[in-house]
Structure 1
Amino acid sequence: MELSVNDTPAYVYTGGRPFDRRQAVVVLVHGAGHDHSVWNYQARQLAHHGFSVLAPDLPGHGRSQGAPLPTIEALADWIESLLDAAGVVHAALAGHSMGSLVALQAAAQAPARITKLILLGSVAPMPVAPPLLEAAARTRDSAHAMINQWSYTPASQLGASPVPGVSLTGLNLRLMERQRDGVLANDLAACNAYQGGLEAAGRIRVPCAMLCGERDQMTPRKAVKPLQEALANVPGGARMIVIKGAGHAMMAEAPDAVGDAMRGFLTTT
């Protein structure tokens, strides 16, 4: 569906079901250089199991209009505006990679509106390797190749896929290529510059789960510990869920495991 967010058209995927704000709402926030489609499997699973789903294309991404927003804080403000536009008072937030920083910041600055938080492939701070920053700004194809190499496990690089006949790396390449010029460079710079993650984590007071790919090279498990420890005020502590055999692109490499973990956390915590 399309919503007007801050007077600008924004596309929002609802998982193949009509959006109903009377149900429990989950907002799914995509990562750098991506759009809502990275959540297709999980959005459909949640939408067909009692949740109303909002999986937006962030400003300037996918089918959403406007310029890409330059900071994580600005993106978090936009998520609040999205909730207003959809008439939603309370929602759970889930974010992947850059989207996890957006979800974290949004949950910290709007504590009365956010009911639960799921961070996938998340670390804070989230520094970006200088060669990737430079490639994103100057040679997008080189940046895309780096991201594919670092996001997927060797099996996926060789063609393994949970969906027969689908090349995960090929699909991700097409997804990144269809974004507008400058979007990836903008997003990676926003991740690299954001220094408020640990402080924001200390303000979170709602249940939180952290999903980490067992073979994640971009946000490996050992790097997640500072953020997990900073979530000290989360009821029962931040719950770590390791997605077996998956890399950073866990939603594509292990769609069922990620969807089951998200739904289990949202329904039982």
Structure 2
Amino acid sequence: MSALPVTLTVPLWAEAGRSADPAQPVLVFLHGIGGGKQGFASQLAYFAQAGWRALAWDMPGYGQSAALNPVDFPALADALLRMLDAAGIRRAVLIGHSMGGMVAQQAWTLCPERIAGLVIAASSPAFGHSTGEFQKQFVAQRLAPLDAGKTMAEVAQALIPTMVAPAYQGPGFALAWDCMSAVPCATYRASIQALVTFEQRAALPTITVPTLCLAAEYDTTAPPEVMRRMAEKIPGAVFEVLADAGHLLYFEQPDRFNAVIDHFLKKQGLDRAE
């Protein structure tokens, strides 16, 4: 499938394609803590070629998007909705990776009428309490390199190999490094602190739109078993595991990631207008 050009609209997002029917939902890709809209170039090109309007957002504090103060999930979900308004999107299929999957869940609690479907990839419905020992250790571990004076490029160089499948050395490694290296230190710190406050387990049974919970075989951040239990709590949710991939599954296996989502969208009838 040949790639279509991806054009920048405003600094908040990158976009490709246009649906033949304006009533068809728009695909909106939401990145994780170490990501950015540029990481979804393969997805935008693929789904634009398939007839979708597809958009990848830079969360607040990423790219040229203005930062939030403070950073929390209600504010992130509100910023997402304001972006949908600015982009003229009435209803979206939210495709969220890691923290982006959490933002998608939070958005469901805020305005379910704007959401036509969910793809939650390598994510979870909760991280626990920010004052818990595990959470405090997680924050300390992730922020220790910055506290020691390391740059985000150095953080990426050390962290990314732990987040991919064993022995992975494909081209997605360089793209993931580019994305994480470009994240401002202040944004990374604020996102890590926000991550450990996320809690939406009670919302899972309320999700009434088609939902795909997509795990990765070698993901130790959002293990397949965690995502399987999550899917069981969402009425009618589909659960799949992408083999030979780690937490950065769409960087590692972009073609298979795209194909799984494409199949889900078609099977659920989301490729057709409302």
Structure 1 and Structure 2 fold alike (TM over 0.5): yes
| Matches of 1:169 and 1:94, distance apart in 2 | 21
Instruction: Name the CA distance, whole Å, in 2 between partners of 1:2 and 1:188.
Output: 28
Task: Please state if 1:182 is matched with 2:183.
Answer: no
What residue number does 1:224 align with? 227
Find the counterpart in structure 2 of residue 6 from structure 1: none
Following superposition, the deviation at residue 132 of structure 1 comes to 3.0
Aligned amino acid, residue 122 of structure 2: G
Contact residue 32 and residue 98 of structure 2 kept, 8 A: yes
1:44 and 1:263 map into 2 onto residues whose CA distance is 13
Match of 2:15 in 1: 14
**Residue 207 of structure 2: which of 204, 207, 212 is its match?**
204
Aligned residues: 249
1:89 and 2:90 are equivalent in the alignment: yes
CA distance in 1, matches of 2:246, 2:205: 27
Distance in 1 of aligned mates of 2:21 and 2:78: 20
Q: Secondary structure at the match of 1:216?
A: coil
Report SS of the residue matched to 1:264: helix
TM-score by length of structure 1 reads 0.84
Asked if 2 retains the 8 angstrom alpha-carbon contact of 1:21 and 1:88, the reply is: no
Q: Is the 8 A contact 1:117 1:206 kept in 2?
A: yes
Distance 1:112 1:100, change over 3 A: same
RMSD of aligned residue pairs (Cα, Å): 2.2
Relative to the length of structure 2, the TM-score reads 0.82
Answer with 96-105 or 25-34: which moved more: 25-34
- List per-residue Cα deviations over 1:143-168 (Å, max 9, x = no partner): 43453133111221xx2x2xxxx3x3
- Following the alignment from structure 1 to structure 2, what is the Cα–Cα distance between the partners of residues 152 and 76? 28
Rounded to whole Å, the distance in 2 between the matches of 1:11 and 1:18 is 18
Give the Cα–Cα distance (whole angstroms) in 2 for the partners of residues 82 and 134 of structure 1. 29
The answer to which of 169-178 and 125-134 deviates more is 125-134
Residues 211-255 of structure 1 deviation map (CA, whole Å, 9 limit, x = unaligned):
111111211112224422332xx3xx2111111111111101111
Shift of 1:19: 7.9
Aligned-partner residue type, residue 260 of structure 2: A
Q: Distance in 1 between matches of 2:155 and 2:248?
A: 16
Distance 1:200 1:222, change over 3 A: same
> Over residues 91-146 of structure 1, what are the superposed CA-to-partner deviations in whole Å (9 max), with x where a residue is unaligned?
11110000000011112321111111000001121365244343265245564345
1:70 pairs with 2:71? yes
CA distance in 2, matches of 1:268, 1:87: 26
Query: How has the CA–CA distance of structure 1 residues 69 and 248 changed in structure 2, closer, same or farther, with 3 Å as cutoff?
Result: farther
Residue in 1 aligned with 2:144? 135
Name stretches of at least 5 consecutive residues in structure 1 with no aligned partner. 4-9
Q: Is the 8 A contact 1:215 1:248 kept in 2?
A: yes
> Bigger shift: 86-95 or 126-135?
126-135
Q: Indicate conservation of the 8 Å contact 2:25/2:116, yes or no.
A: no
Give the distance between the partners of 2:76 and 2:216, measured in 1 at CA: 25
Is 2:272 the counterpart of 1:265?
Answer: no
Shift of 1:77: 1.1
Aligned residues with identical type, % of pairs: 27
Q: How many Å separate the matches in 1 of 2:267 and 2:212?
A: 12
CA distance in 1, matches of 2:144, 2:72: 20
Residue matched to 1:253: 252
* Pair 198,19 (structure 1): closer, same or farther in 2 beyond 3 Å: same
2:34 is aligned to 33
SS at match of 2:83: helix
Which residue does 1:144 correspond to in 2?
156
Q: Which runs of 5+ in 2 are unaligned?
A: 1-7, 129-134, 269-274
Distance 1:198 1:260, change over 3 A: same
Conserved? CA contact 1:59–1:69, under 8 Å: no
| Residue identity opposite 2:110 in structure 1 | Q
Q: Who is 1:2 aligned against?
A: 9
2:80 and 2:203 map into 1 onto residues whose CA distance is 16
